[in-house]
Amino acid sequence: MPYSRLTRRDTFALALGAAATTCSLPTFAQEAKRGGTLVIGSTQTPRHLNGAVQSGIATAEPSTQIFASPLRFDDKWAPQPYLAESWKLADDGKSLTLNLRKNAVFHDGKPVTSADVAFSIMAIKANHPFTTMMAPVDKIDTPDPYTAIIRMSTPHPAILLAMSPALCPILPKHIYGDGQDLKSHPRNSKDVVGSGPFKLVEFTPNQRIVMERFDKFFLPGKPYLDKVIITISPDQSSLMLNLERGDINMMPFVSVPTDLRRLANDKQFSLTPKGYEGIGALNWLAFNTAKKPLSDVRVRKAIATSIDKNFITKALMGGFAQVSDGPIVPSSPFAVTDLVRYPFDLKKAAAMLDAAGYKVDANGERFKLTIDYLPGVDDQQKTVAEYVRGQLKKVGIAVEVRTSADFPAWAKRMATHDFDMSMDLVYNWGDPVIGVARTYLSTNIKPIVWTNTQSYNNPKVDELLNTAGQTLDPVKRKAYYATFQKIVTDELPIEFINVLPYHTVTNRKVGNVPMTIWGPLSPYDNVYIK
């Protein structure tokens, strides 16, 4: 791809660049009104509200309202001021200087200082499951209360994206620096104190989160809303009824085709797929490459050839989803089209299995496999798992679809590698260093969900990912990732199915719907009720 594409997105030329005192979020045509309550429906149940030690959208959505981060991003992938009013990435990519605002205070009135930034980033490095995100960080110098200099052992081209709201919440050191384990700290759920646009009023697990306007928020006149309420229910249908009844006025992460089609035809709602580019959500079929017969790449390729991804996206997902053929979402600046693909062909798939030595027996079966799926997202997971079962039966593979009682049960199976195949939803998280490498690095084969649970091991892939993760030049970086994508789609530890058709649905009374690259995982300080 030409370099001009990267330049248009302002991505990594800006990442190498300079102080951004002149950057600002886009202005809005309609004047925003003060007051009102934004009620959000969510099927996601956070264990707690501290995004510094917990990944995932369940925690990130409230965390980004309660905690501020050093930077935020616009819809062109360009960094914007937030807690840091300006910044400078060194030419060698090994230090990032953050110049903090002098008027930022936590919800308890204490000032936000460089000591809090240093404490938080080192806490994220030590506790966040995205180990590659802050891995190069050695230390943070704090020459004065409003200057933090992040020192890194190697160039780290993803460091600016790592400063995003969902990835780098700044914690109050005077609360969290008390020696208690941050992952189980009592203030993760109760009396949570941040410096974001909204302060926590109530957190009732599995039910709701209530946040009120923080009057001393560091951006003058913001936020516009008086209150943000997240209503939690595992029942998507009941949330949809509440949305149509007017009890809820915003639903992010909607992907069910029947819901999208119905809401698109209702004039009281507005739907947008914008705002998920940074999240980069992929739906895929993971193979346990450590177990026979899936350790044989020929078997994996035959399975891929048995699956009609166009049927999945058009028929099963109502035409809302986009086919995925690789590990990096098409909206990423690092996506390429030169991938190994597996056109749907059942006769060819059967012949591939024959050639690999897996003949059908007297019962017409070659071998048996199990397929798991992430519970709670049936349109993307269970439905596709059942489809795969039916397709593989046609080529002589007997598949049992295994249901997990809940997320912890499924996550345990993945973490202990107790599976043959599993459907999964995994996010790119903006930069391959943050959200992609974790799935393919052999050093990340761990007993933890959303690591390299496929047990995929290729030293060349390790080398490519590690080199790309330290390369500042965007053209060279993209070339490394292009080679990585070609190898991974050839060796196929994962059969990529589709990009999730996430949409944000809002009542038309909601103004300034968040549509940056982080969308619903952005601060809602600009959102208002008309």
The tokens for 50 are: 């501290």
The residue length of the chain stands at: 530
- Give the per-residue pLDDT at 5: 34
Helices 297-305 and 346-355: crossing angle, nearest 10°? 170
The tokens for 470 are: 């330290």
The model's pLDDT over 234-244, given as tens digits with 9 standing for 90+, comes to 888 899 999 99
The arithmetic mean of pLDDT across residues 15-31, rounded, is 44
Which of 253, 287, 288, 246 has its CA nearest to residue 271? 253
CA dist list (Å): 346 to 52, 305, 317, 384, 390: 46, 7, 22, 17, 12
Q: How far apart are CA 153 and CA 157, in angstroms?
A: 12
Q: In what order do the strands lie in the sheet with 147-152?
A: 84-89, 95-100, 147-152, 137-144
- Give the per-residue pLDDT at 134: 96
Q: Nearest 10 degrees: CA dihedral of 489, 494, 498, 500?
A: -130
Q: Is the pLDDT of residue 7 over 50?
A: no
- Give the per-residue pLDDT at 380: 92
- Give the per-residue pLDDT at 408: 86
> Of all helices (H) and strands (E), which one includes residue 322?
strand 322-323
Q: How far apart are CA 111 and CA 91, in angstroms?
A: 31
Interacting residues of 488 by C-beta distance below 8 A, sequence separation 6+: 326, 327, 440, 461, 494
Q: In what order do the strands lie in the sheet with 37-42?
A: 198-204, 208-213, 227-232, 37-42, 250-254, 503-507, 269-272
CA dist list (Å): 233 to 45, 208, 338, 350: 8, 9, 41, 43
The model's pLDDT over 47-85, given as tens digits with 9 standing for 90+, comes to 899 999 998 899 999 999 999 999 999 999 999 999 999
- Give the per-residue pLDDT at 18: 36
The model's pLDDT over 314-370, given as tens digits with 9 standing for 90+, comes to 999 999 999 999 999 999 999 999 999 999 999 999 999 999 999 999 999 999 999
Q: Is the pLDDT of residue 6 over 80?
A: no
Q: Tokens 């997105």 sit at which residue?
A: 9
Ranking 20-34, 114-128, 339-353, 466-480 by mean pLDDT, the lowest is 20-34
- Give the per-residue pLDDT at 376: 81
Q: Is the pLDDT of residue 20 over 70?
A: no
Q: How far apart are CA 391 and CA 347, in angstroms?
A: 12
Check residue 470 and report its DSSP letter: T
Determine the Cα angle at 120 with ends 194 and 116, to 5°.
65
- Give the per-residue pLDDT at 428: 96
Query: In DSSP terms, which residues pair with 209 in a beta bridge?
Result: 203, 230
Task: Spell out where 45-158 has E strands.
Answer: 71-73, 79-81, 84-89, 95-100, 137-144, 147-152
Q: How far apart are CA 231 and CA 227, in angstroms?
A: 13
Q: Nearest 10 degrees: CA dihedral of 236, 239, 243, 244?
A: 70
Contact present, 425 and 450 (Cβ < 8 Å) = no
- Structural domains for the chain: 3-275+503-529 (3.40.190.10), 281-499 (3.10.105.10)
Q: What is the DSSP string of 397-409?
A: EEEEEPPPSSHHH
Q: How far apart are CA 317 and CA 303, in angstroms?
A: 21
Q: How far apart are CA 271 and CA 252, in angstroms?
A: 10
Evaluate if pTM is beyond 0.85.
yes
277: confidence class by pLDDT, cuts 50, 70, 90:
very high
- How many CB atoms lie under 10 A from the CB of residue 497? 26
Region for residue 417 given its phi and psi (left: phi exceeds 0; alpha: psi -120 to 50; beta: otherwise): left
Task: Calculate what percentage of the chain has a pLDDT beyond 90.
Answer: 88
Helices 459-468 and 474-491: crossing angle, nearest 10°? 160
- Give the per-residue pLDDT at 31: 82
pLDDT averaged over every residue in the chain: 92
Query: In DSSP terms, which residues pair with 529 in a beta bridge?
Result: 510
Q: Is the pLDDT of residue 400 over 50?
A: yes
The arithmetic mean of pLDDT across residues 263-277, rounded, is 94
Interacting residues of 64 by C-beta distance below 8 A, sequence separation 6+: 51, 165, 166, 169, 196, 518, 521, 522, 523
Contact present, 455 and 444 (Cβ < 8 Å) = no
Task: Calculate what percentage of the chain has a pLDDT beyond 70.
Answer: 94
Contact present, 149 and 87 (Cβ < 8 Å) = no
Q: Nearest 10 degrees: CA dihedral of 437, 514, 173, 115?
A: 80
The arithmetic mean of pLDDT across residues 501-525, rounded, is 96
- Give the per-residue pLDDT at 30: 65
- Give the per-residue pLDDT at 3: 30
- Give the per-residue pLDDT at 377: 85
Pairing of strands 397-401, 367-372: parallel
Which of 127, 227, 211 has its CA nearest to residue 168? 127
Which of 388, 392, 393, 391 has its CA nearest to residue 373? 388
The arithmetic mean of pLDDT across residues 268-290, rounded, is 96
